[in-house]
Homo-oligomer: A and B are copies of this chain.
Amino acid sequence: MDFLATTPKPPYYAVIFTSQRTADDAAGYEAMAQRMLQLGAQQPGFLGIESVRNADGQGITVSYWQSLDSIRAWGKQAEHLVAQATGKAKWYELFLTRIARVEHEGPV
């Protein structure tokens, strides 16, 4: 089953990206989102991703990473910087990124 990311034994890191889409540019957004999924998965330290958006444009994407360094490197990747700037200017009404250290899988 592809929806749940298969991640290693903790600890590892999660980027929790919560966003509200604007009504603008659905096609451009979708193309970039697909490209970022593809490109992100090729980054060193990438472990997996889970992403959901509902019909109201509310979305949560959680990507999983080996280290803070791997998250930082992806944050500065050239195409990703363009995607981030365009997201801020056009695609997202609002968004928030949280960086977290996953300490446990399963019931606490």
Contacts and interface: CB of A to CB of B under 8 A. Distances in A.
Interface of A: 1, 3-5, 7, 10, 14-16, 18, 20, 50-55, 58-60, 62, 68, 71-72, 75, 93-108
Contacts of A15: 108
Contact of A105 (B3, B59, B96, B108): B96
Assembly of this chain: how many copies?
A: 2
Contacts of A62: 16, 18, 60, 62
Main SS class of interface, A: strand
Nearest to A73: B108
Contact of A100 (B75, B93, B103): B103
A99 B16 CA distance: 12
B101 A101 contact: yes
Given A3-B18, A60-B50, A108-B68, A100 B101 contact: yes
A101 B103 CA distance: 7
B60 A14 contact: no
A72 to B, nearest CB: 5
